[in-house]
Structure 1
């Protein structure tokens, strides 16, 4: 089973629950982190939230052996307050800087097909963060298994 990233935004208690897979962002996260260092922006991995991954690794059952309740806000077995959130403006700055750099071929080990897909993943994140960034919202990149 492959690992991927999703993107969620949070404004007040309103959390987005729909997301596309951002598999290449996860696959190339070490390379992207190195590029972030070079560009002077926050590392992409600094926005990862491992809550979902940790719950999956533990299993679906809680200590009683029963299926956990589904949280109405997140539609998961954990709530908003269990997740790790980051400033949307900081994420937007990272994604925009990475996107511009990758478009200029600053990630040399990336073939053209993966470059196209990675740019689309970054564009999706930029689009999703513009509004929340302007309104002081938050976001995270949950690691999904």
Structure 2
């Protein structure tokens, strides 16, 4: 499992994301840091639509009907099926989290993983800066 960051500006949906698997693996420890520094936890910013759809699809394997793809997302579900959060609020949380990660130890991470986590956070910050500039929204999509 991994986390991808998706953005939404108006009805423009972007799922162009790096893989944030370290963030996913250590989500519980990261959320503890978020709680300590007083920002929204990353776990609260996760959208489970993709995972729920895939589990539902697995359960309905007897259904041979082809699923029509949503024209805006190219997926079997649409923008309005997903949960979205304010990009500016997310940007503030990610910046504070990056500062905290850079200055302290997160349980279960060695020095190399801290560097990698900071790279993942930098990627999210870069994406959120662009989205926040357009009053956009985002979420962290949990995918397998």
* Structures share fold, TM-score greater than 0.5: yes
Residue 9 of structure 2 corresponds to which residue in structure 1?
11
Cα offset, 1:108, TM superposition? 4.6
Cα offset, 1:62, TM superposition? 8.5
| Change in CA separation of 1:103 and 1:56 when aligned onto 2, cut-off 3 Å | same
Residue 49 of structure 1 corresponds to which residue in structure 2?
47
What is the DSSP-based 3-state SS (H/G/I as helix, E as strand, rest coil) of the residue aligned with 1:6?
strand
Given that residues 5 and 17 in structure 2 are in contact (C-alpha distance below 8 angstroms), is that contact kept between their aligned partners in structure 1? Answer: yes
Please give the residue correspondences for 1:57-136 in structure 2 after superposition, counting only pairs within 5 Å. Answer: 57-59=55-57, 65-136=64-135
1:34 to 32, 35, 54: 32
Residue 143 of structure 2 corresponds to which residue in structure 1?
144
With the length of structure 1 as denominator, give the TM-score of the two structures.
0.92
Q: Which runs of 4+ in 1 moved over 2 A?
A: 60-65
In 1: Cα distance, 2:107 partner to 2:41 partner: 18
Cα offset, 1:59, TM superposition? 1.4
Given that residues 48 and 142 in structure 2 are in contact (C-alpha distance below 8 angstroms), is that contact kept between their aligned partners in structure 1? Answer: yes
Given that residues 32 and 44 in structure 1 are in contact (C-alpha distance below 8 angstroms), is that contact kept between their aligned partners in structure 2? Answer: yes
With the length of structure 2 as denominator, give the TM-score of the two structures.
0.93
Given that residues 62 and 68 in structure 1 are in contact (C-alpha distance below 8 angstroms), is that contact kept between their aligned partners in structure 2? Answer: no
Unaligned runs of 5+ in 1: none
Given that residues 29 and 107 in structure 2 are in contact (C-alpha distance below 8 angstroms), is that contact kept between their aligned partners in structure 1? Answer: no
RMSD (Å), alpha carbons: 1.6
Given that residues 4 and 20 in structure 2 are in contact (C-alpha distance below 8 angstroms), is that contact kept between their aligned partners in structure 1? Answer: yes
